[in-house]
Copies of this chain bind each other. A is one copy, B any other.
């Protein structure tokens, strides 16, 4: 093939950079399609009247930046779908309005389907007060001192047993306590991701994770999800092309889609991670909120090769205000993760860690999770019924667990517009545009039932249903 490239000798940039830049622009503008073959080094250098080394340098830069790849013996090719998959790191971030920028004060007026943290009414302040008093009686002001950065030892011990309940076998040294799951993601990004490294994320995914990886200068590749996880063939192709260092995944009750990786895909992920030498950061934010009798294990439970960093938030089953999560970390990256934790905030509140420890040791947490599971399962069923009844034409996967439903809206209804109209009526949810970087998000909404009771579910959804109907007839 012939490319229309020019070298301008009056320009300050060296020739190799001019070549790199022009080819890159052809790729990003779409003029050069995926899998097209670039001219051979010899032919391009003679066409441009430059040294072959100049062209080699330009091609190497393109390869390093993952615009092209080399096929042994057959030349250099444009990476296909690179335009769709590589997230632009300059793009502004969108955060879920409910979780990330909410002040409780003005909250009560709204029916809020955006926040996926438990209804405060489900949390017993009495239990908390009692546990807190016990901690203060035992440890006094010592509870307010600095802690070991990896966590309060008795809590780490308690978490070993806790993790075993979910199929995870580890020792206390594997367990790190962190100040919430977002910090866990940030710490792993610091420990494993250097500028220019490639990180795989699910499409769509949790925007807070994207923020942490982008902040490290990572290149993000989005992996489309089916109801049972990513397509296997496509995933392996992408892994081969992009050589990720990390795959950030929510295999059980994925946020926002609710999808659940099949056991086969969970095991396949582990195989790939071993074969292509990357890690999986498994964000198990709500795998314990399973409303069926069938067992659902995290990928970590199948991991025999230290591929998985397991991350478990307590924000969904305890309360987010504690800012507590834990990680089970493979031995060879413990040191790096510990350094990253120290650089992040030295240590997590010793008081909060002591409180969680007592909740676990006394069995209060287990009872609380059982209570939440029952309460949420009722809300889940009611939510499914209410959506079917009120939003005509909506399609959605029924995960039978977690805290969200991911609604594919009827074609005529734009989720951003629906969001704005409903907000005026004091009903809010998360429009799909918070999860996609392009117009795909306009067809989706995430509905959480964590902070809404049954009356609110029906009241809120009848308003949403009405507004959706109005939009259908607007045009």
Binding site for B on A (CB under 8 A): 14-16, 53-54, 56-57, 93, 95, 99-105, 107, 115, 117, 120-125, 128-129, 132-133, 136, 139-149, 152-153, 179-180, 182-183, 186, 190, 194-195, 208, 211-212, 214-215, 217, 315, 319-323, 339-340, 342-352
Contacts and interface: CB of A to CB of B under 8 A. Distances in A.
A186 B345 contact: yes
A209 to B, nearest CB: 9
A460 B103 CA distance: 49
Given A56-B14, A100-B149, A342 B95 contact: yes
25 contacts: A14-B57, A93-B339, A93-B342, A95-B342, A99-B146, A100-B149, A100-B342, A100-B347, A101-B149, A102-B148, A107-B142, A115-B145, A117-B146, A122-B141, A128-B136, A144-B320, A182-B342, A182-B343, A182-B344, A182-B345, A182-B346, A208-B342, A208-B343, A211-B339, A321-B349
Most buried by B among A129, A136, A144, A340: A144
A146 B179 contact: no
Closest 4 CB pairs of A and B: A144-B321, A120-B141, A144-B319, A211-B343
A211 B342 contact: yes
Contacts of A190: 215
A201 to B, nearest CB: 14
Contacts of A323: 179, 345, 347-349
Nearest to A350: B321
A90 to B, nearest CB: 13
Contacts of A141: 120-125, 319
A131 to B, nearest CB: 12
A104 B149 contact: no
B140 A320 contact: no
A107 to B, nearest CB: 8
Contacts of A125: 136, 140-141
A346 B104 contact: no
A149 B102 CA distance: 8
A14 B19 CA distance: 15
Given A103-B153, A190-B215, A145 B345 contact: no
A153 B14 contact: no
Contact of A146 (B16, B54, B102, B346): B102
B322 A144 contact: yes
A125 B133 CA distance: 10
A258 B104 CA distance: 42
Contact of A100 (B146, B152, B208, B322): B146
A120 B102 contact: no
Given A323-B348, A323-B349, A212 B343 contact: yes
A135 B452 CA distance: 24
A215 B339 CA distance: 9
Contacts of A129: 133, 136
A148 B57 contact: no
A198 to B, nearest CB: 16
Contacts of A342: 93, 95, 100, 182, 208, 211
Contact of A344 (B101, B117, B186, B349): B186
